[in-house]
């Protein structure tokens, strides 16, 4: 893919908007090329590291372009966080998702239709409902942004089948210029993203993957008890130094660790996908406003979360891929100040991931065993009333409930069976007649509706129509008479022995139990390819944990970054800093003959940074300055609560530190501080100047 252009004729205007509305003096590396390409109307693929400012690559152009920018986002918490931050800056953005009532969705879509909204955040599933795409096309979509675009690639670490529909959504929106953004993409994934989205001659914006302010450590542990003890020590030494994220692999483990930390007097909250929407929002808000200093989470937390002062990320167990590890570790130090990523590792960690991989991508023998069990359990109408657990028990060989669930999804996708959706009118339909017979016996004049129905079903299934398909009778084109009309037409066709059909009952319905599993169009080669790919990624993740070479170089080589060097000054192997988990962090010792780490970088995880310390080139804050910083943070917390936004939206930590050092006395002086744009200055400046004047 070609590189992005270096200049854009509208770039000066974009920089002015960045300063005025977002408070940043200039774009970061990579952002300039991305914004230029988007403003020129080019399809663009943006790969910037976590904390590199991907959102601005479409938010700034969206405010400059006429018409609407649609942002496809994978997580409710992600879109809410970004929209809240934009609205707090007075920018015209909103979202629609499943947390809203129908009345709220209608009100927001009406604002979009009236042209009051510039950025609309939606999940890909939203386009499965009604005429959302057609309504937005009528409004005029000038830009489509696909956030966390690695989700569309089967080689990505967070593949989501719903993202595969985005290419079709793009066409339904009128094929607007598209920008795809991600933080973690190998060369293979980058090519797959461009192909899956149908990007046209896309500009590739790819900056280095290295986060130079992060220090990486791996602590070898024997069991969970050793991990727990080490984790408590790590967090206790850092309670006055920013906030921390602890990642765990399962919901049960998240709950256990959070409870354990609370008993150890560490202010921790638990976050995972099993929480209801209200509880998840409360937990996220507690962390973002720093009522809780530690959040313990599965990988459901963090995608797109812009919390600048995370000083420590701890993985209680090894992630399944280096992409996941690097993205999650990269949530530390987004303010570019020193931060640490620590992996607590024991060899059995891999077994959890192997269990998940085998459950999500079962071998062909497992799928065949589940299919055979369903055929034996089906009644004369092909109905299987039992669920996955009973099917797993019936299957020959050792099949887990999780494997049975995945096998059923694979068989459903291949058309071998259907799982009834109580909210839809569905039917299994198999075409018996040949095209020649249909042409001979059905005429447009007498049988126009029957032919329209058959064409619609053929368009969805092609040759699979002869094997039997599951048809959603509510998704047929208008004019057929809806589900009731379709059923009458199917009855007529069945009487002429042109089709065989039946309405789905509750439970699982076999399309044709007389067929063998190999008769169905299941992509066995693709399934095995994905299995092997996931296992290969897991093996590389484990090699990272065990390597004695530079960890930073290991990761950079994986992503194809030519900047990888044999040694760095930001990982335990290069620094010679090793920690023995059996004695907690107090046992951190520097290997014999190893050089001391540079000032402000490469601290052993147990060495807490001085409270109020700045970057490596800044002197630590004095006691008086720390007190002033605390007073400014108190004002920020009050304003954040009044505005119902995270504290960083008011001002990031870096801005408060610069206020402490510069002591601005006027609005003009305050406007020169990093992150203080005209919008923030007008809304919040006087509150902070009052505190500074009182000191």
pLDDT band at 307 (very low <50, low <70, confident <90, very high): confident
Ranges of beta strands (E only) in 562-674 are: 577-578, 589-590
Whole-number average pLDDT of the chain? 84
Q: Which of 70, 78, 50, 60 is nearest to 22 (CA)?
A: 60
Determine the pLDDT at residue 603: 47
Average pLDDT of span 407-424: 83
Determine the pLDDT at residue 422: 64
User: CA 147: distance to chain centroid?
Assistant: 8
Q: CA-CA distance, 75 to 426, in Å (whole number)?
A: 29
Tell me if 26 sits within 8 A of 15, measured CB to CB. yes
Q: Is the pLDDT of residue 569 over 70?
A: yes
Mind listing the pLDDT tens digit for each residue in 648-695? 778 877 888 889 988 999 988 898 888 787 778 888 999 999 999 886
Mind listing the pLDDT tens digit for each residue in 112-156? 999 999 999 998 888 876 678 888 999 999 999 999 888 888 665
Mind listing the pLDDT tens digit for each residue in 370-412? 999 999 998 887 888 888 899 999 998 889 999 999 999 999 8
Determine the pLDDT at residue 615: 40
Average pLDDT of span 39-62: 89
What value does the CA radius of gyration of the chain take, rounded to a whole number of Å?
28
Q: What values do phi and psi take at 185, rounded to 5?
A: -150, 120
Angle at which helix 76-88 crosses helix 277-288, to 10 degrees, equals: 50
pTM of this structure: 0.66
Q: CA-CA distance, 618 to 484, in Å (whole number)?
A: 74
How much of the chain exceeds pLDDT 70, in percent?
89
pLDDT band at 185 (very low <50, low <70, confident <90, very high): confident
Mind listing the pLDDT tens digit for each residue in 522-536? 999 989 998 998 999
- Between residues 524 and 302, the one the model is more confident about: 524
- Domains of the chain with bracketed CATH: 11-206 (3.40.50.300), 214-346+547-590 (3.40.50.300), 363-520 (no CATH), 623-694 (1.10.150.80)
Q: Is 472 helix (H, G, I), strand (E, B) or coil?
A: strand
Determine the pLDDT at residue 580: 63
Average pLDDT of span 511-527: 90
Q: CA-CA distance, 435 to 444, in Å (whole number)?
A: 14
pLDDT band at 542 (very low <50, low <70, confident <90, very high): very high
Q: Is 267 helix (H, G, I), strand (E, B) or coil?
A: coil
- Between residues 360 and 382, the one the model is more confident about: 360
The full DSSP string for 353-409 is HHHHHHHHS--HHHHHHHHHHHHHH--TTSEE-S-HHHHHHHSSS---HHHHHHHHH
Which stretches of 421-550 are DSSP H helices? Answer: 435-441, 444-461, 482-495, 524-546
Ranges of beta strands (E only) in 123-170 are: 141-146
H or E stretch at 419: strand 417-419
- Between residues 641 and 368, the one the model is more confident about: 368
Q: Is 590 helix (H, G, I), strand (E, B) or coil?
A: strand
């Amino acid at each position: 893919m070609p590189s992005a252009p270096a200049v854009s004729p509208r770039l000066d205007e974009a920089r002015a908007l960045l300063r005025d509305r977002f408070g940043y003096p200039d774009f970061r590396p990579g952002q300039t090329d991305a914004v230029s390409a988007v403003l020129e109307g080019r399809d663009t693929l943006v790969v910037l590291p976590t904390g590199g400012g991907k959102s601005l690559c479409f938010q700034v152009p969206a405010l400059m372009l006429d018409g609407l920018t649609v942002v496809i986002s994978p997580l409710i918490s992600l879109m809410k966080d970004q929209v809240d931050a934009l609205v707090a800056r007075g920018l015209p953005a909103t979202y629609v998702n499943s947390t809203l009532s129908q009345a709220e969705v209608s009100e927001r879509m009406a604002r979009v239709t009236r042209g009051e909204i510039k950025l609309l955040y939606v999940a890909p599933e939203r386009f499965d409902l009604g005429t959302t795409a057609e309504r937005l096309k009528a409004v005029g979509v000038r830009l489509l942004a696909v956030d966390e675009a690695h989700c569309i690639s089967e080689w990505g670490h967070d593949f989501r089948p719903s993202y595969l529909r985005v290419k079709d959504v793009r066409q339904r929106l009128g094929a607007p210029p598209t920008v795809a953004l991600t933080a973690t993409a190998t060369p293979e994934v980058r090519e797959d993203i461009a192909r899956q989205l149908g990007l046209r001659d896309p500009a590739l914006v790819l900056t280095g993957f290295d986060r130079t302010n992060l220090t990486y450590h791996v602590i070898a542990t024997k069991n969970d008890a050793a991990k727990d003890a080490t984790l408590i020590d790590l967090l206790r030494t850092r309670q006055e130094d920013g906030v921390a994220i602890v990642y765990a692999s399962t919901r049960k483990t998240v709950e256990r660790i959070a409870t354990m930390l609370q008993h150890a007097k560490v202010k921790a909250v638990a976050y995972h996908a099993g929480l209801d929407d209200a509880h998840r929002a409360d937990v996220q808000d507690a962390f973002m406003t720093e009522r809780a200093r530690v959040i313990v989470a599965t990988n459901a937390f963090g995608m797109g979360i812009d919390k600048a002062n995370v000083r420590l990320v701890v993985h209680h167990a090894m992630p399944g891929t280096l992409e996941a590890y690097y993205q999650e570790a990269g949530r530390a130090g987004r303010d570019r100040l020193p931060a640490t990523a620590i992996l607590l590792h024991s060899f059995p960690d891999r077994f959890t991931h192997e269990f998940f991989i085998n459950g999500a991508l079962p071998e062909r023998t497992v799928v065949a065993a589940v299919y055979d069990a369903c055929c034996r359990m089906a009644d004369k109408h092909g109905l299987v009333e039992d669920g996955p657990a009973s099917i797993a028990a019936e299957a020959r060989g050792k099949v887990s409930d999780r494997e049975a669930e995945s096998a059923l999804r694979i068989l459903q996708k291949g058309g071998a069976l259907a799982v009834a959706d109580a909210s839809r009118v569905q039917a299994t339909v198999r075409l018996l007649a040949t095209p020649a017979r249909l042409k001979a016996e059905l005429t447009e004049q007498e049988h126009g509706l029957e032919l329209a129905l058959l064409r619609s079903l053929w368009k969805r299934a092609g040759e699979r129509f002869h094997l039997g398909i599951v048809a959603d009778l509510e998704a047929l084109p208008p004019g057929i008479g809806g589900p009731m009309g379709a059923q009458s037409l199917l009855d007529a066709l069945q009487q002429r022995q042109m089709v065989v059909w039946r309405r789905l009952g509750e439970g699982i319905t076999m399309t044709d139990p007389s067929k063998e599993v190999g008769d169905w169009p299941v992509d066995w080669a693709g399934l095995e390819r994905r299995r092997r790919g996931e296992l290969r990624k897991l093996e590389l993740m484990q090699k990272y944990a065990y390597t004695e070479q530079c960890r930073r170089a290991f990761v950079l080589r994986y992503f194809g970054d030519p900047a990888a060097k044999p040694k760095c000054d930001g990982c335990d192997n290069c620094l010679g800093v090793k920690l023995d988990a059996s004695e907690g962090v107090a046992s951190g010792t520097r290997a014999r003959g190893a050089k001391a780490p540079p000032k402000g970088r490469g601290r052993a995880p147990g060495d807490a940074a001085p409270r109020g310390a700045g970057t490596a080139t800044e002197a630590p804050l004095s006691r008086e300055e720390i007190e002033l910083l605390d007073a400014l943070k108190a004002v920020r917390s009050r304003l954040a609560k009044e505005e119902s936004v995270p504290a960083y939206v008011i001002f990031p930590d870096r801005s408060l530190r610069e206020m402490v050092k510069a002591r601005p006395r006027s609005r003009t002086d305050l406007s020169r501080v990093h992150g203080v744009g005209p919008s923030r200055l007008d809304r919040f400046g006087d509150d902070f100047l009052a505190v500074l004047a009182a000191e």
